[in-house]
Amino acid sequence: METKMPMVLDIISENIIKHGNPLALKGSEVASWAKELDLPVKGELLFYTGGEYQLLPFIDSLVKTITHLDQGSKMFSMMMGARNILNKTGINAEKMYASVLAKDKVRYNSVCLKAAKVLQGLGYEFCYAGNEELYSGALLYELGYLEDMKTYVQKVVEVIRKSGAKTIVCLSPHAAEVFKFVYPKMVEGFDFEIVTYVDLIWQRRDKLAKIQSTGPVVIHDSCRLARELGIHQELRDILESVGADVKEAPRNREWTSCCGGPIKILFPELSHVIGARRVNELKESGAEHILTSCPYCLSALEGGRAKGDSAIIEDLIEFLYRGVKA
């Protein structure tokens, strides 16, 4: 019996294969954050965003559309029919629609810029693939498009090898996980050292500037970072090194609760409920300032915050950037 994937997942997988990211952004759009830095394209340490932070506002806009449309309805079929017609003219319909509604593009692009500046402030030198950077393909693997994944990873590796890098530093734990555990099984000779952004910061945490207190903070541990990659104490060490008052949520580290992000595209309303529950759990710590280190957790927690809630939700990168001298 043939199993048919939901249409929205087919759209995303097609975009990854054809355009190098889930929503068909151009390479220049993914890399626009780096213009002012003039980073080299070759070097031993490759700074890798995978376009994941940059894609968040577009994904959120697509999710809003899906929330209001039954994927089995005639209206959804008509929208997808229009998409097919537009694609023949070279225009990507869901990207166009998402672009009209997208918010926070400036914020999410700036996360990449701030991450790079924090690393530079700690003395790291790195290269960046710029317009050629491709998404890791993690969704293809997670959604079961394994044959497509086997072909797609070859394109990603070609870009990585062109940089001459020996080490890849990943901003997203999703990329780090797929590079570390999946790519070696699919690509012969994939022997790059894979590190997370948190790893590099932790190694030089003694050089971080103290950050003026804004009250206690609580960490939302990303499931990918804490469970699959075993990184959780490092986050606490980093925050303590900059003078932060770290509180703990009832569920933390390897026992962290889900943010709702993994089901956001298929079940947006349920994702919102789970995100709201997690925000409340985190606030039980007594801290109103929530920090995480994953693009999808950041977006899901923001989506779960109740209207008028005074909680501050930030990526660790945004928090640490306060210690960088202008």
**pLDDT string in tens for the chain (326-residue length):** 455 666 777 888 888 999 999 888 889 999 999 999 999 999 999 999 999 999 888 877 777 666 555 555 555 555 555 555 556 556 566 665 565 555 678 899 999 999 999 999 999 999 999 999 999 999 999 888 999 999 999 999 999 999 999 999 999 999 999 999 999 999 999 999 999 999 999 999 999 999 987 799 999 999 999 999 999 999 999 999 999 999 999 999 999 999 988 888 778 888 889 999 999 999 999 999 999 999 999 999 998 888 888 899 999 999 999 988 65
Tokens linked to 252: 């933390």
CA distance 299 to 281: 17
229: helix, strand or coil: coil
What predicted TM-score, i.e. pTM, was given to this entire model? Answer: 0.89
CA distance 209 to 324: 7
CA distance 92 to 218: 40
Tokens linked to 17: 């294969």
Q: Report the length, in residues, of the chain.
A: 326
Query: Which amino acid is residue 97, in one-letter code?
Result: Y
Question: Angle at CA 61, nearest 5°, toward 55 and 62?
Answer: 90
CA distance 137 to 152: 7
CB 300 within 8 A of CB 259: yes
CB 170 within 8 A of CB 50: yes
Query: Which amino acid is residue 326, in one-letter code?
Result: A
196: helix, strand or coil: strand
Residue 4 neighbours by CB distance under 10 Å: 7
- Complete domains list, the chain, with CATH: 7-61+102-201 (no CATH), 208-323 (3.40.50)
Q: At 93, which helix (H) or strand (E)?
A: helix 93-101
